[in-house]
Structure 1
């Protein structure tokens, strides 16, 4: 029987070998069907494995309370202060210019950059010999003119006597009495005297004196140099008053109680300003007062300038001997309007222009709209919208909304003023918020 099967297979193979088209069809069927079977098997395997996998446990989202820092809203009397900056300038500063020309024959040792002088001190002298000779010549001309005038007067008197003898009672003419000649002589004398005055004036101008008490900024020439009239010899300033030009915005003008074109009048309450700067590593302060404001706004910066003055800056107006000198850049704090019984909160508690976040007793957040009087770097002054003792949120909050759950890190109602006094507690609270330890 085996032999019969073998014979049948041999016979079948022989038939297939004799039919090449059939053999090609079988190979093509294997090539196309086999990949499809593999893909179907893989899909079936993935479905079976997915069905056998355990389903993950579902977990409900828990909303965590937002940790916050708070501070108390307190009642206080507040005097608004405006902070600004400006440069110190002398009120009076001029160039020293001679009115006559010549060689500088003498120069004061105090007439040097940084030197001090008093009113009337000689700063320098111009060689005066030429001007002295002009005075001598002018005096000679005056003496000559006086002689001519005297001679004309004498001749006029003689002419009058002669006319009285021969005039037969008639009135003598002006020419007969030599009145034109006398007038000419008088005019020549007046001219000669004017020339003498001018020569003496020019001679006096060879000595240049200080017009006020002050100090020297610069000196441009040295002794022995020749100068012309109008040459700038140096620059000096008076040290009796210093001005500080302080820029102010509209809001700062309001808080300082100033207006456009303000002029301080004697008898009015002065608007004081505290000026400060670091001089040689030492913090110095000076007391000044606002004396005037500009009558127009600066077109480039849109600010109005106020002028503060400090009197006797190198003497009584100095701070323990530290003067407020020209060119010094100082900070100014202007005392303004005073408000009584207003609410103050830390500046960090103010959100935007007029909102404050309140931490309620039930650990929820409330958003309140407030009326702000003024703000500075440290605090905000509130007219209305808050109550004394409200716990205001001072830490940042994203997406704040009414009713949001919060967790107070340092309870302001329990610690009170200790929050602002004990910085270590506040630092610890801030670290806890950053680390996310409070829920």
Structure 2
């Protein structure tokens, strides 16, 4: 009986002893020291919100193309007997200067024949008028004399024949002039398809050229860019007007700049890209309006365009890196804590953003990255010179 009681109580005593030791250790464990320091502020770089008058700038790009571009087409047939030295790819076109000359012997003979027909028709008119005068005198006492008896139809026929002969003479002169293939503007040749000795027919294409007086650049514009320009859809500038545009491209290893004007906007939005296109112009790109380094803004060149848009008075400006996703801005409050604020962005580019609402001049915006930003978190503001301007 005694052994049975011992076997039952022994495990219970072991368990009770273990619990007692555990309670004793927990009661006598040392307490960790409590620190009274607050969370360390996060250091950030900041910049002030500036208030000043600005001119909004729109950045876009496009390809230079000529305003006038055409095929050179022969208007008469014949053998080419002369070719200008400028009739080659890249050749300079002078207004009225012959690029090609077609053999004109047949056309000169046709002109002489037309002149003879005119002279003959004039004699016929004089003869008809004389006959009519005689008939009128003979029939002056006949009140009911017919027009045929008075030779009026004969006079009308003679005059009609004279007009036809004069028209034939004018056509012969035109055909003779058209043996010299010319253009009425300054330009450049981009292709040639004929040479001396070749026989060509009327309507044959002998080359391709463009006018060098004006080049155009078609520029895509997003809705925000259109707002920065302050122009309505379908805008068309008056002669000599339009918004200033600075074109730039890297040519011959150097950045070149040219100055033109935005003269009009399309009246419809492109359904494929959902953008609006504007047209900028540059006059005399190969002679008067070359770059500062003497480089022309050549046709086919891909250029970047900076358009000067509307002016803004007392605008709020912040660095581009201070504008966060969703048009939010991080600011340093007077208490040295983070203030996450929503703003209205009027214009932005790679360097700055123009804010229309949500900021005041003198406030400081955070320009550096913040990991896990939380409204009201402690921050330590540093300006561009690593000088502390606000602390927690």
Taking structure 1 as the reference length, what is the TM-score of the superposition?
0.72
Does 1:206 pair with 2:179?
A: yes
Q: Secondary structure at the match of 2:350?
A: coil
Deviations for 1:123-153, whole angstroms, at most 9, x for unmatched residues?
Answer: 2111112212222332333344445455555
Shift of residue 266, structure 1, vs aligned partner: 4.8
Q: Distance in 1 between matches of 2:200 and 2:147?
A: 52
Shift of residue 300, structure 1, vs aligned partner: 0.9
Q: Give the alignment of 1:11-26 within 5 angstroms.
A: none
The answer to whether the 8 Å contact 2:224/2:347 transfers is: no
- Counterpart of 1:272 in structure 2 is 244
Q: Give the alignment of 1:344-363 within 5 angstroms.
A: 344-360=317-333, 363=336
Shift of residue 78, structure 1, vs aligned partner: 2.2
Shift of residue 406, structure 1, vs aligned partner: 3.3
Residue from 88, 97, 113 that aligns with 1:112: 88
Shift of residue 401, structure 1, vs aligned partner: 1.4
Does 1:89 pair with 2:77?
A: no
- Counterpart of 2:337 in structure 1 is 364
Q: Secondary structure at the match of 1:296?
A: coil
Change (3 A) 1:182 1:281: same
Q: Secondary structure at the match of 2:210?
A: strand
Deviations for 1:65-122, whole angstroms, at most 9, x for unmatched residues?
Answer: 4443333333333221000001112222222222212222212111221111221111
Higher strand share: 2
Q: Which runs of 5+ in 2 are unaligned?
A: 1-17
Shift of residue 403, structure 1, vs aligned partner: 2.0
Deviations for 1:356-395, whole angstroms, at most 9, x for unmatched residues?
Answer: 1123465532222333222211222223433444332222
The answer to whether the 8 Å contact 2:75/2:202 transfers is: yes
The answer to whether the 8 Å contact 1:391/1:412 transfers is: no
Q: Which moved more, 1:99-108 or 1:395-404?
A: 395-404
- Counterpart of 2:287 in structure 1 is 315
Does 1:326 pair with 2:302?
A: no
* Structure with greater Cα Rg: 1
Q: Distance in 2 between matches of 1:204 and 1:267?
A: 36
- Counterpart of 2:168 in structure 1 is 195
Q: Which runs of 5+ in 1 are unaligned?
A: 1-46, 418-439
- Counterpart of 2:14 in structure 1 is none
- Counterpart of 1:219 in structure 2 is 192
Q: Distance in 2 between matches of 1:399 and 1:326?
A: 51
Q: Distance in 2 between matches of 1:224 and 1:57?
A: 113
Q: Distance in 2 between matches of 1:246 and 1:73?
A: 32
Residue from 197, 217, 220 that aligns with 1:247: 220
The answer to whether the 8 Å contact 1:97/1:230 transfers is: yes
Higher helix share: 1
Deviations for 1:264-311, whole angstroms, at most 9, x for unmatched residues?
Answer: 12586x411111111111111111111111111111111111111112
Q: Secondary structure at the match of 2:205?
A: coil
> How many residues were matched structurally?
363
Change (3 A) 1:348 1:180: closer
Q: Distance in 1 between matches of 2:388 and 2:192?
A: 63
Change (3 A) 1:182 1:387: closer
Change (3 A) 1:346 1:155: closer
Residue from 175, 199, 208 that aligns with 1:235: 208
**Over the residues paired in the alignment, what is the CA RMSD in angstroms?**
3.4
Does 1:130 pair with 2:106?
A: yes
Change (3 A) 1:416 1:226: farther
Change (3 A) 1:72 1:412: farther
Change (3 A) 1:412 1:210: closer
Q: Secondary structure at the match of 2:99?
A: strand
